[in-house]
Structure 1
Amino acid sequence: MTGPSGTDRSAAGAPPAGRGRFGRRRDQAIALGWLVVVWNLLWGDFNWANLFGGLLVGGAVLVFFPLPAVSFGGRLRLRALVVFAVRFAVELVSASLHVARIAVQPGYRPRGAIIGVRLRLNTDLNLALTAEAVSLVPGTLILEVDRNSGTLYLHVLDTHRPADLEAARERTLALERRIVRAVGSEAELRRVDTGHSERGTRP
């Protein structure tokens, strides 16, 4: 049926493809899985107690504080997921050692900075996953997320030269790229891999 403006009203009111009851259940299961992972990362230890606690807390969050509907249109790539996990673990160890060195170095005063990084994809899922992963790395803190432009505003520890700011932007964009390669769609993968995508914005 076509409305006065010439648009297809039935198409406009129809839910997106794959957004039936199964699609909603699938998205809730994915959200619960990520909440469990975040819960264990916050505790710093993967064990049965934290797994059970994460399921309880994640289930309570989804029931009492329902998240906006975010459809997962990508697919899981096991090899890319392993690469992401290994690289992320290396970054965690490296950043932790760097922050520890700053803490024990006598007379050293680190200089922080706030930068804006515009991601290549401004979908809610990509913003949430990238922001969460960035905030888990010691020395970086998410201050604000601009949903409309897909920009993350970060506080970065120990920056003394413009090259340090550029390196922080590159690390954030590289992290986004690894996340999309692990769980993104083919179209999203092409966008993050293309050389014509916009780079991080300067503060």
Structure 2
Amino acid sequence: MRSRLGRRRDRALAVGWLVVAWNLFWGDFSWANLLGGMLVAAAVVLFFPLPPVTFDGRLRLRGLLVFTVRFVGELIRASLHVARIAVQPGYVPRSAIVAVRLRVPTDLNLALTAEVLSLVPGTLIVETDRQAAVLYVHVLDVHGPADLVAARRQVRVVERRIVAAVGSNAELRQVLSVPVDKELS
């Protein structure tokens, strides 16, 4: 009974967010857009159902604050770096794709880590292997093997911050059990 109510609640939330997105896409909150958004959202939820994503974690305010502050700092630093590359005359940056296996192989962790990495300028998720919990990350401005190690370390650090913000106690123990530097060596 509880799982049925949970599924209905999740579908209702999905429809609600899709209606809001529909209205934002049109740029006008009108009755016609509201009705059209409800029809489109109902069709999307009906014909393209998403697999259930379980959340066994807990929200940790300290971890969320650390994540937010560091994320904003990384956004600023990466934006300045990409801007410098864009305006530097004659400079052609080298790129690479690195594969990183996540330590917490849940769908939610995979999705959150991929989203955060994609939001930071200079990195982009090229592919994911859901079964093996591997992210393939495109990295901009690579000078040598040390930069590849640094890119892998950065993915692991982002995963650690996400788990520290919203992960379960078991997941937190899992990411804290081995230091990031020891995993990569």
Same fold (TM over 0.5): yes
Q: Structure 1 residues 144 and 133, CA, compared in 2 at 3 Å: closer, same or farther?
A: same
Matched, 1:105 2:98: no
Q: Give the Å deviation of 1:33.
A: 10
Q: Give the Å deviation of 1:70.
A: 1.1
Aligned to 2:112: 129
User: Is residue 119–residue 199 contact of structure 1 (8 Å, CA) maintained in 2?
Assistant: no
Unmatched 5+ stretches in structure 2: 22-28
Range moving further from structure 2, 112-121 or 25-34:
25-34
Range moving further from structure 2, 66-75 or 88-97:
66-75
Deviations 1:64-115 (A, max 9, x none): 6332111111111112111111111110110000000000011111000011
| Counterpart residue type for residue 75 of structure 2 | L
> What TM-score, normalized to structure 2?
0.77
Task: Calculate percent identity across the aligned residue pairs.
Answer: 64
Deviations 1:154-174 (A, max 9, x none): 110000111111111111100
Q: Give the Å deviation of 1:185.
A: 0.5
Q: Structure 1 residues 196 and 102, CA, compared in 2 at 3 Å: closer, same or farther?
A: closer
SS of the residue 1:142 aligns to: strand
SS of the residue 1:163 aligns to: helix
Aligned to 2:55: 72
Aligned length in residues: 168
Range moving further from structure 2, 122-131 or 23-32:
23-32
Q: Give the Å deviation of 1:23.
A: 3.6
Following TM superposition, where does structure 1 have runs of at least 4 consecutive aligned residues deviating by more than 4 angstroms? 25-35, 61-64
Deviations 1:13-39 (A, max 9, x none): xxxxx962344356568878999xxx8
2:70 to 72, 87, 106: 87
Unmatched 5+ stretches in structure 1: 1-17, 40-48
Q: Structure 1 residues 87 and 128, CA, compared in 2 at 3 Å: closer, same or farther?
A: same
**CA–CA distance in structure 2, aligned partners of residues 97 and 33 of structure 1:** 36
| Counterpart residue type for residue 82 of structure 1 | L
Aligned to 1:199: 183
| Counterpart residue type for residue 113 of structure 1 | A
**CA–CA distance in structure 2, aligned partners of residues 82 and 30 of structure 1:** 25
Higher share of residues assigned helix: 2
